[in-house]
Structure 1
Amino acid sequence: MPISETALLRFLSSVHPYDSLEPALLKELAPKFRQIDATAGNPVYALNQELDGLYLVHTGEVEVTDENGIPVSILGPRNSFGERGLTRGGRAVTSARTTTETILLLLPKADFHTLMASQPKVAKFFDRRRPGSRDTTSLATTRVETIMARDPITCSSGLTCQGAAQLMRDRRISSICVTDGDRLQGILTTRDLTAKILAAGKPISTPVSTVMTPDPLTLAPSAIGSDVLHMMMEHGIGHIPVVEAGRLAGIVTQTDLTRFQAVSSGEMVSSIARAGSAEEMAKVTAEIPRLLVQLVAGGNRHEVVTRLITDIADTATRRLLALAEEQLGAPPVPYLWLACGSQGRREQTGVSDQDNCLILSGDLKPEDNAYFEQLAAFVCDGLNTCGYVYCPGDMMASNPRWRQPLSVWRDYFRDWIAKPSPEAQMLASVMFDLRPIGGETALFADLHQKTLKAASANSIFTAHMTANSLKHTPPLGLLRGLATIRSGEHRNTLDMKHNGVVPVADLGRIYALQGQLAEVNTRARLEAAEAAGVLSHSGARDLLDAYDLIAQTRLEHQAAQIRSGQTPDNYLGPSDLSDFERSHLRDAFVVVKTMQSAAGHGKGMLS
């Protein structure tokens, strides 16, 4: 039986975004919807079919399945699907069929696009693209390549200090890069000339090579402006060369920075770098929730927020390592402190425990173990004091298992790859997210590269890792397309960590293994996977958009909790979301589920 005009108007006025339209416009739009009556089991559209327009469920139920026939969502009344998303070039990347007697309303493609073009609120609702930052001039969103001075003034190591000083005077600069060809050897600043030549009474004919800072700290052009600020404040320097593929590309100085744009996180990093104890640092890290609220409120993207918050944890770790060495003395052999988990991926939020380990030099003697046991305890206890609570699974350097010589770490990874037991899969998943924080980074470079190569070459291991990565599934179900936790303390909520960002992080790790990609950050892994051909362009765009929405929703939830005086967590109630937010979040979860299905069937990407 056809739906009457009055009933149709009443229904549309209860569905977002049509409820935002003027009554006259809604009355004009309603007749353009075409009613489709279907019995149970009727196909709505098939995979790769060119879609006719936007579908809206009036009554009944529609099951959406991926390219492998696996259900990814069940849609009920007031849910839209079809032209609004999950398409590639206007063709469906899923299939849909009715599961009960159903009435669908179809808004033809031409009418839908006209509506999108003329009504900004409708366009905003149906546009799943990643929103831009509100402040495009922020250091937190500006790449170093846009800040740096290109073609920096250089000199050879044989130039005299007088010649270098004259060059800096003539060019009105406060530093000069010392190079061999286009390779950076060191940096010389006016402060070096004052302290090491004038104050020391050395002749002005002294070669630059004896005064310069050799192998200075550098950044890549792809780094962000806040990286510059944080590095300067932590290490007390004012000039940072920019190096790409080993070649000098530019330089950034304090005068290149607009400090107020990142003053909050920058001041926190600076205060921690000068702190004399974990207790002093804890007073600074206690402000992280406030920083999170400010960053989210400022319109910063999720990967910027988590990067800035992780920078603080990194600085705290390095400062604790320095304080430990002050107390214990110089280390008997070189070591490297690494972070894994969310800190390793630079994805810390307002809720973070600590996950870390120590790689020790092969020159380690049995009597040296006591030193590193004390160092690990000092740093892990200090991090706990700072609010980075002890890892529940004891994945910390204070555990002797995760404080071993390089040879033992090689054996760990070799055994995990050769014998991928459930425990090995779990440990490998954690340890493939390792990132050096402080110490001798050379201890990790060779290990990382060789492990990636060995892992990607072992099809059995990668298959087990892929299967393990699919254990965390998006929360898709019958209730408006979202499945909530059924019992316990967090009943009727969505776990935005384990069922939200973790499934995407797991996929990113698998793509990194398949492509032998060195990136650790999830978003960087997805982008690198696309560039390497591990992930198709359309698949990468879909997954990146989905991940951005899920991760941003999680951060906004935590910020809202902090503003209301609560302790932030990862459990979001669907009722706290608008129809707009629920609908888009459901679409994002469908994309993740579809990509998981593709990975589980050995396809690795959407073609």
Structure 2
Amino acid sequence: MTDADSSLADAARRQAFLATVHPYDSLAPDELARVAETFEQVEAEEGTVLYRAGEALAGLYLIAEGRVEVSDETGAPVSLLAARNSFGERGLVRGGLAVTTARTTEAARLLLLPATEFHRQIEVSPAFARFFDRARPAQPERKGDLATQRVGDLMARSPVTVRPTTGIQAAAALMRDTRVSCLAVTDAEERLVGIVTVRDMTGKALACGLPPDAPVAKIMTERPLTLPPTALGSDLLNLMLERGIGHVPVTDGDRVIGILTQTDLTRFQAVSASAMVRDIARAGTAAEMAEVTARLPQLLAQLVGAGNRHEVTTRLVTDIADACTRRLLTLAERRLGPPPAAYLWLACGSQGRQEQSGISDQDNCLILADDAPEAAAGYFERFASFVCEGLATCGYVLCPGEMMATNPRWRQPLRVWRGYFERWIAEPDQEAQMLASVMFDLRPIGGARHLFDDLQEATLAAAAKNSIFVSHMTANSLKHAPPLGLFRGFATVRSGEHKNEVDLKMNGVVPVVDLARLYALRGQITEVNTRARLEAALQAGLISGTGGRDLIDAYDLIAETRLERQAEEVRAGRRPDNFMAPSDLSDLQRSHLRDAFVVIRTMQSSAGQGKGMLG
């Protein structure tokens, strides 16, 4: 390599070269000239390490000639870069420390933009910022939209409380004086034990002629349905509409921090998702519910088009499946009679994680109380068939792997389920890993919720303590690789209907789902939603601040790209799927998406090396 070939030591030549590279080609001529003068030329022989992971970055590198291999902290290559490719920007954006290692694979000539000038351009040039700042800013809250508001933002603080021993007349006077329609009943440790409403006062106390000094414990609703402050307004609406209740306590753990009533909601207008839940709750047959779920593609397109974040959209879409399931449970009991034992219907897969999109099959199971008589087997077989067939009628395809309550294996008493998890943890063979991965995403939908509480806690505790099981689950979480081609491109499907396309689900979303599940296992995190697991893992220190934020950003970008693609398919009158051709994206979109895949591979490598997730 000689100066006569293509030396960029001269500022005018640097400017001419930069004018052929995005985003510098978008700068005004005078600004481009000024930036060109700030670049430094770097000559590097083959095998030169330009920087290592964890080191302070001198600035942003741009290749003029030669090739550079970028590898993660474990040494695994993630990119082989050539002329006009930049590298080092993610570390600069994330605090100035390199998150990868860069080494030349042949003699190279590079341009180095000092870190101070890089950050200046991020501030003054929108095109530069869009191209290099991979951290996607959070979208603003959509004011006035009840379904996407957090319950904590809707409720009135400082609920009025009484003790269980408080007299009915005294409680009624307190309600009158404070102008509230309900009281939270708490014990000596301020834990919520019940709720008393005006309807209780009239229908239970006055109508039954209870003495004025009788304790409110006699008329209160024990163990009322509650919501956490992080729940969405749609959760509140669905609860009120399905259960026919007008008061919902908001709790942080077992402490009541607020109460929401129907009166509190009059200033808000429910979005179509809640209207669909209402229609489902009133349906008398699966066919009637199917008329409602037929609107799901339009709902998805509307939610995406309105700018909702992906986790909000998938929550609202999943709410429809939950409502269908609960309504079918009710209809099954009407058809078959009262259940002969307590049961709990649970969802797993994307419904369990509250991450359903435009295409979803059904994954579910049934836990029965240990005291269920032998005669109950026939009842619950018919029960499961009724519900699963009803869900299929509503458009939720039967699971091809029969991970459903219609399979006797997944319709068992609690003691059998305990045995399942104990065996999977003790003998983590390939099938056990697969089943454990599915079952760690369980979420109760309807029935006796207490059948799951102890099971979840005991299983997480036992699994986290078994290093062999954790090791197997770690390996299992690395099976789905992001679609990275070595030469700055994408590894696309090679043949068939989706040739030259990328599977955004299996190679984009699923790898993050698997990593988040692994973090939840190691940290005994009870959340099942992927983003909630990532946030909890970051807060608990299970992953580094930089690695955790990068992974959340990467997940957000891929998940939103997937939903946007599905919404486009719906608007075009086609059935949505999970595939996308990289050629459909702009250079900027491809660059950001590829960086997201690099983040996932880096975090997978960190997990595979057993580094405690500190990637």
Name the TM-score, length of structure 1 as normaliser: 0.94
Q: Kindly tell me: are residues 554 and 159 of structure 1, through their superposed partners in 2, closer, same or farther at Cα, counting changes over 3 Å?
A: same
Question: Structure 1 residues 19, 275: closer, same or farther in 2, change over 3 A?
Answer: farther
The 1:606–1:87 alpha-carbon spacing in structure 2 relative to 1, beyond 3 Å, is: farther
Pair 76,562 (structure 1): closer, same or farther in 2 beyond 3 Å: farther
Mapping of residues 295-444 of structure 1, within 5 Å: 295-444=303-452
**Distance (whole Å) between structure 1 residues aligned to residue 57 and residue 183 of structure 2:** 61
* Residue of 94, 101, 112 corresponding to 2:118: 112
Q: Structure 1 residues 77, 348: closer, same or farther in 2, change over 3 A? A: farther
Partner in structure 1 of residue 175 of structure 2: 168
Give the whole-Å Cα distance in 1 for the aligned partners of 2:360 and 2:64. Answer: 43
Aligned equivalent of 1:559: 567
CA contact (8 A) 1:511 1:604 kept: no
1:580-599 mapped onto 2 (5 Å cutoff): 580-599=588-607
Deviation at 1:479, TM superposition (A): 4.8
Q: 1:477-516, aligned counterparts within 5 Å?
A: 477-516=485-524
- SS at the partner of 1:304? helix
Conserved in 1, the CA contact under 8 Å of 2:146 and 2:268?
no
Say if 1:313 and 1:343, in contact at 8 Å, map to a contact too.
yes
- Whether the 8 Å contact between 2:246 and 2:261 is mirrored in structure 1 is yes
Q: Deviations over 1:313-349 (max 9, x none)?
A: 1111111101100100111111111111111111111
For 1:82, the equivalent position in structure 2 comes to 88
User: Aligned with 2:375: secondary structure?
Assistant: helix
Tell me which residue corresponds to 1:186.
194
Structure 1 match to 2:281: 273
Task: State the secondary structure of the residue aligned to 1:366.
Answer: coil
> Per-residue deviation at 1:539?
2.1
Does 2:260 align with 1:255?
no
Give the letter for the 2:248 counterpart: I
Q: Paired residue for 1:287?
A: 295
Query: Displacement of 1:432 after TM fit?
Result: 1.0
* Conserved 8 A contact 2:89-2:132: no
Task: Indicate how the Cα distance of structure 1 residues 32 and 377 shifts in structure 2: closer, same or farther if over 3 A, else same.
Answer: same
Q: Which stretch of the first structure deviates more once superposed, 318-327 or 581-590?
A: 581-590
**Counterparts of 1:288 and 1:259 in 2: how far apart (Å)?**
26
Alpha-carbon displacement from aligned partner over 1:282-337 (angstroms, at most 9, x marks no partner): 11112122121222222211111111111121111111101100100111111111
SS at match of 1:49: coil
Match of 1:61 in 2: 67
From 124, 133, 156, the equivalent of 1:127 is 133
Partner residue, 1:32: 38
- 2:547 corresponds to: 539
Among 208, 212, 224, which residue is 1:216 paired with? Answer: 224
Separation in structure 1 between the aligned mates of residue 355 and residue 612 of structure 2, nearest angstrom: 24
**Paired residue secondary structure (1:135):** coil
State the SS of the aligned residue for 2:494: coil
Cross-structure match for 1:2: 7
Distance 1:521 1:383 in 2: 22
Residues 394-422 of structure 1 deviation map (CA, whole Å, 9 limit, x = unaligned): 10111111111112111211111121111
* Mean Cα deviation higher: 361-370 or 139-148: 139-148
- Do the aligned residues in 1 keep the contact of 2:146 with 2:271 (CA within 8 Å)? no
Query: Whole-Å Cα distance in 2 between the matches of residues 252 and 130 of structure 1?
Result: 33
> Which residues in structure 2 correspond to 1:449-488 (within 5 Å)?
449-488=457-496
Structure 2 residue aligned with 1:601: 609
- Structure 1 residue 150 and structure 2 residue 157: aligned? yes
- Deviations 1:336-381, CA, capped at 9 Å, x for gaps: 1111111111111111111111111111232211111111111111
Pairing 1:16–2:18 present: no
Does the CA contact (< 8 Å) of 1:355 and 1:396 recur in 2? yes
Q: Which moves more between the two structures, 216-225 or 158-167?
A: 158-167
In the aligned structure 1, how far is the partner of 2:173 from the partner of 2:463?
A: 54
RMSD across aligned C-alpha pairs, in angstroms? 2.2
Task: Give the stretch that moved more between structures: 215-224 or 324-333.
Answer: 215-224
Per-residue CA deviations over 1:20-44 (Å, capped at 9, x if unaligned) read: 3233322333333334344543333
Counterparts in 2 of 1:31 and 1:249: CA distance versus 1, 3 Å: same
Deviates more, 1:146-155 or 1:393-402: 146-155
* 2: CA distance, partners of 1:11 / 1:585: 26
Gap change, CA 1:34 and 1:565, over 3 Å in 2: farther
Q: Which amino acid aligns with 2:48?
A: N
Deviations 1:502-545 (A, max 9, x none): 11111111111111221111111122222333222222112111
* 1:514-525 equivalences in 2 (<5 Å): 514-525=522-533
SS in 2 for 1:149: coil
Q: Report if aligned partners of 2:90, 2:99 keep a CA contact under 8 Å in 1.
A: no
From the superposition, tell whether residues 156 and 385 of structure 1 become closer, same or farther in structure 2 (CA, over 3 Å). Answer: same
**Distance in 1 of aligned mates of 2:182 and 2:93:** 53
1:438-477: per-residue Cα shift (whole Å, max 9, x none)?
Answer: 1111111111111112111111111111111101011111
Q: Indicate how the Cα distance of structure 1 residues 163 and 491 shifts in structure 2: closer, same or farther if over 3 A, else same.
A: same
Structure 2 CA distance for aligned equivalents of residues 307 and 461 of structure 1 = 31
Structure 1 residues 85 and 382, CA gap change in structure 2 (3 angstroms): farther
How far, CA to CA, are the matches of 1:325 and 1:403 in structure 2?
Answer: 17
Question: Identity over aligned residues, as a percent?
Answer: 62
Shift of 1:257: 2.9
Q: Displacement of 1:65 after TM fit?
A: 0.6
SS in 1 for 2:70: strand
Are the counterparts in 2 of residues 74 and 477 from structure 1 also a CA contact under 8 Å?
Answer: no
What is the correspondence of 1:227-238 to structure 2 with a 5 Å cutoff?
Answer: 227-238=235-246
Distance 1:41 1:336, change over 3 A: same
Partner secondary structure for residue 348 of structure 1: coil
- Where structure 1 has 5 or more consecutive residues not aligned to the other structure, the ranges are none
Q: 2:580 aligns with which of 572, 575, 583?
A: 572
Q: Secondary structure at the match of 2:236?
A: helix
2:558 alignment partner, SS class:
helix
Distance 1:564 1:78 in 2: 36
The question of whether the paired residues in 2 share the 8 Å contact of 1:85 and 1:128 is answered with: no
- For 2:52 and 2:208, the matched residues in 1 are separated by 82
**TM-score scaled by length of structure 2:** 0.93
| Compared CA separation, residues 400 and 14, structure 1 to 2 (3 A) | farther
Question: Contact 1:139–1:258 at 8 Å: present in 2 too?
Answer: no
Q: Which amino acid aligns with 1:218?
A: T
Counterpart of 2:454, as a letter, is D
SS of aligned partner of 2:231: coil
Query: Which moves more between the two structures, 285-294 or 466-475?
Result: 285-294
**Aligned partners of 1:397 and 1:403 also within 8 Å:** yes
Shift of the alpha carbon at 1:159? 4.2
Partners of 2:29 and 2:331 in 1: CA distance: 68
Relative to structure 1, is the Cα distance of residues 77 and 293 closer, same or farther in structure 2, using a 3 angstrom cutoff? Answer: farther
CA distance, structure 2, for counterparts of residue 175 and residue 147 of structure 1: 17
| One-letter amino acid matched to 1:319 | R
Give 1:598 deviation, angstroms: 0.8
Q: Quick check: 1:49–1:91 contact (8 Å CA) kept in 2?
A: yes
CA distance in 1: counterparts of 2:321 and 2:15, whole angstroms = 54
1:73 aligns with 2:73: no
Q: Per the alignment, in what secondary structure is the counterpart of residue 44 of structure 1?
A: strand
Q: 1:503 to 1:261 in 2, by over 3 A?
A: farther
Segment of structure 1 superposing worse, 443-452 or 24-33: 24-33
